[in-house]
């Protein structure tokens, strides 16, 4: 059964009618919001996150998590990330293994009409398939306005500025609003100061770190990290910049799948990449496939959440560790 994503966002309880739900499409921002809502609505449940790679390596991991009872919680939520047709047999087996105390939420990228996974969920009434397409200008305006609710000085011009500066990407908009809420807490939003905290400002040092980390240049990363001072107030700005680069690489990898060429995909990208950066993008794309990029985007999101939830944590150390781990992973890619 197909459900509209906006209906689910307006009333998350509609998910209660289904044991297993598939979310697919290019709008990662919508999917992230729904994941957060699922976790909030199931605070008393054990949450288990599985990636497709784990299920491929261990074909019994999904089934085992379904049949094994939770030691500390009555309910269990299994979230499968980056799913494709490759794990359809395991998902099909999991669906048939009914367990009213366990629900499965599956998140995928774009699935075409020939996808067996997509067809399974759209054709069966006891399953829900929720396509997550890109936001329209109207839905983004309403979404951003709602997220800014309670702040002083919000105008239509400011809302549109945030949207346009985020390339109409809901996930980036969320990160920008997090910074705005911190900076303008109990203050009127001033447009001049707003421009300073949005991504309009330069961050060339950290961009160089991102580039070298994604290319696996470990020696260069050690030098750069020893020279930069990562201020706690810039943590979300840095992570947002990192996220933006990953989103760009994901977009190019998806285009490359259709055009069979990284260079051709980059040439067709809009807005275009500055010519000096094209070589770095190509090198990074050779080391990071779509699956690894999605996993990295998820890891950056986890890092951001960790810093938000722990105000006393050393965010500079957390971000540096993230950068080092990325560099190590890239250096081992062939």
Contact residues for 37 (Cβ-Cβ < 8 A; gap 6+): 9, 12
Q: Let me know whether 173 and 266 are in one domain.
A: no
Q: Let me know whether 151 and 108 are in one domain.
A: no
- Find, among 20, 145, 152, 167, the residue nearest to 90 by Cα: 20
Q: Let me know whether 176 and 223 are in one domain.
A: no
- Find, among 151, 128, 138, the residue nearest to 38 by Cα: 128
Q: Let me know whether 143 and 240 are in one domain.
A: no
User: What is the CATH classification number for the domain harbouring 313?
Assistant: 1.20.272.10
Q: Let me know whether 79 and 25 are in one domain.
A: yes
Q: How far, in Å, are 15, 31, 119, 313 from residue 129 at the CA level? A: 11, 13, 9, 39
The pairing of strands 20-24 and 75-81 is unpaired
Residue where a domain stops, chosen among 197, 218, 235: 197
Neighbours of 231 (CB within 10 A): 11
Residue where a domain stops, chosen among 110, 131, 152: 131
Q: Let me know whether 62 and 157 are in one domain.
A: no
Q: pTM for the full model?
A: 0.60
Q: Let me know whether 216 and 174 are in one domain.
A: no
Q: Let me know whether 193 and 215 are in one domain.
A: no
**Structural domain span for residue 221:** 204-331
- Find, among 102, 109, 111, 15, the residue nearest to 62 by Cα: 102
Q: What would the two tokens of residue 247 be?
A: 């989103």
Q: Let me know whether 109 and 212 are in one domain.
A: no
> What is the model's pLDDT at position 201?
47
User: What is the CATH classification number for the domain harbouring 27?
Assistant: 3.40.50.300
Angle subtended at Cα 14 by Cα 11 and Cα 15, rounded to the nearest 5 degrees: 115
What are the per-10-residue average pLDDT scores of the chain (334 residues)? 92 90 94 92 90 92 83 84 94 84 92 95 92 91 93 88 81 88 87 72 76 93 88 82 88 86 84 79 92 93 87 90 94 72
Specify the length of the chain in residues. Answer: 334
Task: Classify 81 as helix, strand or coil.
Answer: strand
> What is the model's pLDDT at position 289?
92
Instruction: Please write the tens of the pLDDT for every residue from 246-281.
Output: 988 998 999 888 888 888 888 887 767 777 788 899
Q: What would the two tokens of residue 167 be?
A: 């390339």
Q: Let me know whether 327 and 208 are in one domain.
A: yes
Q: What domain count does the chain have? A: 3
Q: Let me know whether 148 and 267 are in one domain.
A: no
Q: Is 151 left (phi over 0), alpha (psi -120 to 50) or beta?
A: beta
Contact residues for 109 (Cβ-Cβ < 8 A; gap 6+): 24, 25, 26, 82, 84, 254, 290, 294
Residue where a domain stops, chosen among 131, 148, 176: 131
Instruction: Please write the tens of the pLDDT for every residue from 82-92.
Output: 999 999 999 99
Q: Let me know whether 142 and 246 are in one domain.
A: no
């Amino acid at each position: 059964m197909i459900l509209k994503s906006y209906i689910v966002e307006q009333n998350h309880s509609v998910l209660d009618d289904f044991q297993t739900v598939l979310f697919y499409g290019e709008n990662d921002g919508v999917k992230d919001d729904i994941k957060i809502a699922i976790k909030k609505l199931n605070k008393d449940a054990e949450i288990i996150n599985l990636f497709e790679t784990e299920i491929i390596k261990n074909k019994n991991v999904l089934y085992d998590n379904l049949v094994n009872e939770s030691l500390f919680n009555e309910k269990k939520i299994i979230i499968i990330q980056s799913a494709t047709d490759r794990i359809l047999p395991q998902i099909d087996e999991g669906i048939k293994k009914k367990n009213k105390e366990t629900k499965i939420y599956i998140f995928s990228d774009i699935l075409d009409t020939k996808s067996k996974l997509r067809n399974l969920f759209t054709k069966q009434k006891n399953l829900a398939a929720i396509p997550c397409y890109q936001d329209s200008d109207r839905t983004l305006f309403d979404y951003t306005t709602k997220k800014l609710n309670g702040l002083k000085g919000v105008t239509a011009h400011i809302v549109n500025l945030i949207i346009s500066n985020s390339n109409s990407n809901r996930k980036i908009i969320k990160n920008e609003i997090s910074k705005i809420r911190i900076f303008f807490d109990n203050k009127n939003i001033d447009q001049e100061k707003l421009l300073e905290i949005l991504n309009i400002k330069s961050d060339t040092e950290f961009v160089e770190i991102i580039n070298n980390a994604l290319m696996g240049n470990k020696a260069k990363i050690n030098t750069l990290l020893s020279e930069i001072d990562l201020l706690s107030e810039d943590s979300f700005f840095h992570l947002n910049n990192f996220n933006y680069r990953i989103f760009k690489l994901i977009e190019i990898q998806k285009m490359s799948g259709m055009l069979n060429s990284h260079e051709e995909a980059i040439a067709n990208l809009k807005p275009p990449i500055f010519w000096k950066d094209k070589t770095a993008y190509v090198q990074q794309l050779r080391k990071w496939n779509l699956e690894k990029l999605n996993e990295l985007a998820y890891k950056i999101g986890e890092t951001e959440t960790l810093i938000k939830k722990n105000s006393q944590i050393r965010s500079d150390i957390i971000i540096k560790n993230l950068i080092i781990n990325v560099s190590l992973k890239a250096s081992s890619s062939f």
